[in-house]
Amino acid sequence: MKFEPVIGLEIHIQLNTKTKMFCSSPNLTDGVAPNTNICEICTGQPGTLPVANKEAIEKAIRLGLALNCQIAEHTKFDRKHYFYPDLPKGYQISQFDQPICGKGEVEFVIDGETRKIRITRAHLEEDAGKLIHPTGANYSLVDLNRAGVPLVEIVTEPDFKTPIEARLFLQQLRTLARYLNVSDADMEKGHLRCDANVSLRPIGSDQLPDYKIEIKNMNSFRAVEEALHFEIERQTEELEAGKKLTKQTRGWSDVKKQTVAQREKEDSDDYRYFPEPDLPTLRLTPEFIESIRKSMPELPEARRRRFEAEFGLPSELANQLIEAQSLGDYFEGIVSDLKAWFVAEKIGDTEALSDQIKEATNWCTGIFTELLNESQIQPEESKISAENFAELLKMIHKNEISKTAAKQVFIEMFKTGGDPSEIVADKGLKQVSDTGELETIVDKILLENPNVVADVKAGKDRAMGFLVGKVMSETKGKANPKMVNEILRKMIQ
C-alpha cells in the first residue's frame, strides 16, 4: 500500500512590542544578561495581577487580518496548566475557546502553482522562560527574560502535501510578519518557532489518520523540511511492517538528523484550561478593527502580483524583490527616478523603459544584493542612493559606460557613496563611442591579425570574438562593444 503525508503546522511568532504581554518589563531577550528584564508579574510572584498589552492585541489583529482570519468580537484569556521549570506560575496565560483570530485562509505560490492553506486559529499567549544547560554540568539554569513575552500561535489545517511546502509557507510567513512590522521573525533567534504534526494515510483517501505525530525542536527552515522528510520515511517503514502508530511527541536532533521519541502527545484536557479570572473579556469593536485594517501596508503577495503586472517581471525575480520590504521599496525608488528621466527627456519609447526596469531588477537582485549580504546591511543603509543607482543605469543606456566598467563604478559607489559620473571621470572609464577613433584602432588590429581575418571570412564565429577582445584590450575595456562589432564586420567585408 502506498501512503501520502498529511501535514499541519503550529507556529509561534514572537511579537516585537515594547513591553511583555501582561507587564511593563521590556520585551528584550537578545544579547541581554539572564534574568535582567523581569518583574514580579512575569516571574509569578504571589499577589500580582496581569494587564493585557494593547500593542500586542493590535499586532495580533494585524497578523490575523493578513491571514484573512475572522476577528473575534469578544475574546478572552485562559489558564493552560502544565509543570516545567521555566514556567514560574505553573500555568501559561493563553487562549482556548475564544481566540482573538478565528478561521482564515492564505495563498502562497510554489513552482508557479497557487496553494491555499486554511488557518484554524491564531491566538495570543505569553511565552515561557528558557532553560540553559551548561556544558558538562549536572544541573540546568533558568533564564526568565523570555517569560511573558507576547506570542501569536498560528494553527493551520493539515493542508500541506510535502515538506518543501511547509518550508516555503514558513518562509513566506516570515516575510509577511516583517512587512506588517509585528515581528523580526528570525527563526535562528527563536522569534519564529514551529512544531509540525505529520501522519500518513493511503493515497486517495479523504479520511484523516487516527494518529498524529508532533515534531518539536526545529530551529531553522531547513530543519523543518529535513525533520518532515525523516518522519515520513520512518512512519512509512512502520506502517509497511504492520505496526500501529499512536499519538506521540518527538524531538528533532539536528546532529543525528532524526526524530527521537519524547512523550505521548497531550490532549487539551490534560492542560485543565479554565478562564483567566484576573483578566476581563475583551470586546473588539468594528471601528477598532477597521482602524487597524486601514493602517495595513501592501502585503507581499499583492506586491508580487503588482510587480509582475506593472513591470513585466518574471515570478522568480518579483519574489526576490518582495522578500525584503526594504529592497522592494528601494527598487521602486529607482524605477520612479527612471520614469521621471524618460518624461524629462521626452523619451516615449515604452520598450526602452521596460528594458531599463528589467536592468534595474537584475542589478538589484544581483550585485547589489550580494554586496548587501557581504556587508550585512539593509538597502536603506547603503551609501548608494536610489537616484545615483538610476543615474548609473542611464549612463549604461546612453552608451557612456560599458557594463563591465559599470560594475567597477558600482562597487566604488557602494564603498564611498560617490556620484557615478564623477567616479567615471576620475577613473577614466568613459566608454569610447567615437566612430573615427574606433575605426583607427580596428584597422590596427586587423593589420596585426591577417590569419584571424581570414578565419572570420571563412565563417568562424570564435575568430570574431578574438578580434573584439583585442579591440577591447587595446581600449582598456572602454570601447562600445556594439560599435566595435559593427565596425569590424564593415571593415572586414
Domain match, 281 and 331 both: no
Distances (CA, A) of 436 to 28, 399, 439, 440, 443: 67, 16, 5, 6, 11
Domain match, 269 and 309 both: no
Domain match, 125 and 268 both: yes
Residue 226 lies in a domain: no
195-204, 326-335, 433-442, 479-488, range with the lowest pLDDT: 433-442
The residue-averaged pLDDT of 347-376 equals 91
Looking at per-residue pLDDT, the higher value among 361 and 488 belongs to 361
Contact 225, 260 (CB under 8 A): no
Looking at per-residue pLDDT, the higher value among 346 and 215 belongs to 215
185-199, 265-279, 419-433, range with the lowest pLDDT: 419-433
Residue 427 lies in a domain: no
Contact 250, 262 (CB under 8 A): yes
The residue-averaged pLDDT of 416-424 equals 91
Question: Could you say which of 251, 278, 294 is where a domain stops?
Answer: 294
Looking at per-residue pLDDT, the higher value among 234 and 432 belongs to 234
Q: Which three cell numbers stand for residue 421?
A: 559620473
pLDDT at 468 over 60: yes
What is residue 343's predicted lDDT score, i.e. its pLDDT?
A: 85
The residue-averaged pLDDT of 82-97 equals 94
What is residue 477's predicted lDDT score, i.e. its pLDDT?
A: 67
CA distance 104 to 64: 8
pLDDT band for position 349 (cuts 50, 70, 90): confident
What is residue 435's predicted lDDT score, i.e. its pLDDT?
A: 65
Interior/surface letters 291-300, b for 16+ CB within 10 angstroms, e for the rest: ebeeeeeebb
CA distance 151 to 16: 9
46-60, 243-257, 261-275, 461-475, range with the lowest pLDDT: 461-475
Domain match, 377 and 289 both: no
pLDDT band for position 444 (cuts 50, 70, 90): confident
SS3 annotation, 137-155: CCCCEEECCCCCCEEEEEE
Domain match, 346 and 453 both: no
Domain match, 351 and 488 both: no
Domain holding 484: CATH number? 1.10.10.410
pLDDT at 283 over 60: yes
Contact 369, 327 (CB under 8 A): yes
Domain match, 183 and 90 both: yes
CA distance 147 to 345: 60
Which amino acid is it at 42? C
pLDDT band for position 436 (cuts 50, 70, 90): low
Q: What is the mean pLDDT of the chain?
A: 90
Domain match, 20 and 99 both: yes
What is residue 50's predicted lDDT score, i.e. its pLDDT?
A: 97
Please name the residue that has the C-alpha cell 501512503: 3
Q: Please, how many CA atoms are within 13 Å of residue 13, restricted to the half-sphere of its CB?
A: 30
Residue 212 lies in a domain: no
pLDDT band for position 280 (cuts 50, 70, 90): very high
The residue-averaged pLDDT of 271-285 equals 95
- Per this entry, what is the length of the chain? 493
Residue 233 lies in a domain: no
Domain match, 306 and 172 both: no
CA distance 410 to 418: 9
Q: Which three cell numbers stand for residue 415?
A: 564603498
Residue 310 lies in a domain: yes
Interior/surface letters 26-47, b for 16+ CB within 10 angstroms, e for the rest: bbebeeeeeeebbbebbbeeee
pLDDT at 433 over 70: no
pLDDT at 434 over 60: no
CA distance 147 to 86: 8
Residue 158 lies in a domain: yes
Domain match, 279 and 316 both: no
Domain that holds residue 457: 435-492
Q: Which three cell numbers stand for residue 396?
A: 549604461
Element (H, E) at 260: strand 258-263
pLDDT band for position 432 (cuts 50, 70, 90): low
Residue 210 lies in a domain: no
Looking at per-residue pLDDT, the higher value among 176 and 30 belongs to 176
CA distance 90 to 100: 23
What is residue 431's predicted lDDT score, i.e. its pLDDT?
A: 61
Give the rounded percent of residues in the chain with a pLDDT score beyond 90: 70
Residue 244 lies in a domain: no
Domain match, 36 and 179 both: yes
The residue-averaged pLDDT of 23-27 equals 97
pLDDT at 263 over 90: no
Contact 150, 17 (CB under 8 A): yes
Element (H, E) at 275: strand 274-275
The residue-averaged pLDDT of 24-46 equals 95
27-36, 38-47, 173-182, 461-470, range with the lowest pLDDT: 461-470
The residue-averaged pLDDT of 442-448 equals 78
Radius of gyration of the chain (CA): 30
What is residue 449's predicted lDDT score, i.e. its pLDDT?
A: 77
Torsion of CA 305, 101, 264, 141, to 10 degrees: 90
Give the distance, in angstroms, between the CA of residue 403 and the centroid of all CA atoms in the same chain. 30
Domain count, the chain: 3
Q: Which three cell numbers stand for residue 14?
A: 514572537
Domain match, 192 and 144 both: yes
3-state secondary structure of 274: strand
φ and ψ of 166, to 5 deg: -60, -45
CA distance 432 to 430: 7
